[in-house]
């Protein structure tokens, strides 16, 4: 594998071409060039290659224009049962993420919905619940929703990266603990997918039932 400095050099050369990802697609390149492979040390334990590198779920969404958008919602609040989710949306907008903020007056912490700007051709990459679990909460899955718009229609495609056959996989997911204690108990992909389907898009976190609240177990990383 190329050294970090070779990779950074190659990335700079790529940036300098200004051709962007479109240039790669136009050149007929169908695999991700190695200069974009940048394994994160904490998660580079086989999870990303074996479990996350696989495109499993693929959902196309069509949201019509709503004459009275305040009376309805496009997609209710949820986080996704994957490692990563890549979303392509058209220019209508409506995707929102929940972020932590501070109230203006008393500086109390509060969660607020923030619009994800619809940039033409841009991909939105969200972290999913599986990654939150294996990173022991270091990476947080993003709660998101789609609000209805009177403009439209809105079209989006969401691609979910997780192990093929996750719904029946007995592969165990356990938190990788760099320091401190495990925040979640071990589980299987199949259990997570089952729980996700059972709870539906109710805005609650898939991981809440797996969180170790009392007597966290120590694990070696
Ligand atoms: O339509 C969107 O932009 C998001 C869809 C979504 O959240 C999903 O498919 O999980
Ligand atoms: Fe989603």
Give the ligand 1 atom nearest the CA of 124: 3
Mean pLDDT to the nearest integer, 47-54: 66
> Strands (DSSP E) along 6-120, which ranges?
55-63, 75-78, 84-89, 95-102, 109-115
- CA gap 165, 149 in Å, rounded: 35
Does 209 score more than 90 pLDDT?
no
Tokens of 213: 């609240």
Give the ligand 1 atom nearest the CA of 59: 9
Adjacent-strand bridge partners of 113: 98
- Residue 198: enclosing H or E segment and its boundaries? helix 189-199
- Is there an atom of ligand 1 within 6 Å of 95 CB? yes
**Ligand 2: distance of its center to the CA of 87 in Å?**
9
51 phi/psi in degrees, rounded to 5: -110, -35
Chain segment 148-190, per-residue pLDDT in tens: 999 989 999 999 988 888 889 888 888 988 888 999 999 998 9
- Is there an atom of ligand 1 within 6 Å of 59 CB? yes
Residue position matching structure tokens 């992909």: 189
Cis previous bond, 113, omega within 30: no
What is the widest separation between alpha-carbon atoms in the chain? Answer: 55
- CA gap 86, 39 in Å, rounded: 18
Does 11 score more than 90 pLDDT?
no
Does 51 score more than 80 pLDDT?
no
Helix (H, G, I), strand (E, B) or coil at 32: coil
How many residues belong to the chain?
221
- Is there an atom of ligand 1 within 6 Å of 146 CB? yes
- CA gap 154, 91 in Å, rounded: 8
List the one residue out of 37, 31, 52 whose CA is nearest residue 139.
52
The pLDDT assigned to 129 comes to: 92
Average pLDDT over the chain reads: 84
pLDDT-derived band of residue 92, with 50, 70 and 90 as boundaries?
very high
The pLDDT assigned to 140 comes to: 92
Mean pLDDT to the nearest integer, 58-86: 91
Most confident of 46-60, 126-140, 163-177: 126-140
- CA gap 34, 9 in Å, rounded: 13
For the chain, which domains are there?
49-210 (2.60.120.330)
ipTM of the complex: 0.98
**In this structure, which ligand is nearest to the CA of 87?**
1
Does 203 score more than 80 pLDDT?
no
For residue 140, how many C-alpha atoms fall within 13 Å in the half-sphere facing its CB?
A: 10
Which of 164 and 95 is assigned the larger pLDDT?
95
The pLDDT assigned to 57 comes to: 75
Give the ligand 1 atom nearest the CA of 154: 1
Most confident of 79-88, 100-109, 203-212: 79-88
The pLDDT assigned to 206 comes to: 82
**Ligand 1: distance of its center to the CA of 134 in Å?**
23
What percentage of the chain reaches a pLDDT higher than 70?
Answer: 89
Tokens of 6: 């070779």
Sheet holding 109-115, edge to edge: 75-78, 144-146, 95-102, 109-115
- CA gap 87, 110 in Å, rounded: 26
Mean pLDDT to the nearest integer, 85-111: 89
Does 38 score more than 70 pLDDT?
no
Tokens of 117: 């700007």
pLDDT-derived band of residue 90, with 50, 70 and 90 as boundaries?
very high
pLDDT-derived band of residue 218, with 50, 70 and 90 as boundaries?
low
- Is there an atom of ligand 1 within 6 Å of 89 CB? yes
């Amino acid at each position: 594998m190329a050294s970090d400095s070779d990779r950074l050099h190659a990335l700079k050369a790529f940036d300098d071409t200004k051709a962007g990802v479109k240039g790669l697609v136009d050149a007929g390149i169908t695999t991700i060039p190695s200069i974009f492979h940048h394994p994160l040390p904490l998660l580079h334990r086989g999870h990303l290659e074996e479990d996350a590198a696989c495109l499993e779920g693929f959902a196309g969404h069509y949201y019509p224009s709503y004459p009275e958008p305040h009376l309805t919602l496009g997609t209710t609040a949820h986080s996704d049962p994957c490692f990563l989710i890549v979303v392509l949306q058209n220019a209508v907008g409506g995707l929102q993420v929940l972020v932590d903020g501070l109230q203006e007056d008393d500086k109390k912490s509060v969660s607020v919905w923030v619009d994800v700007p619809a940039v033409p051709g841009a991909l939105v990459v969200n972290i999913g619940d599986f990654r939150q679990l294996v990173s022991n909460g270091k990476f947080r899955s993003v709660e998101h929703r789609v609000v209805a718009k009177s403009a439209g229609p809105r079209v989006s495609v969401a691609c979910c990266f997780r192990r093929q056959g996750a719904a029946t996989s007995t592969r165990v997911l356990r938190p990788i603990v760099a320091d401190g204690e495990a925040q979640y108990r071990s589980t299987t992909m199949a259990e997570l997918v089952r729980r996700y389907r059972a709870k539906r898009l109710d805005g609650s976190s898939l991981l809440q039932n797996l969180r170790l609240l009392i007597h966290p177990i120590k694990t070696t990383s």
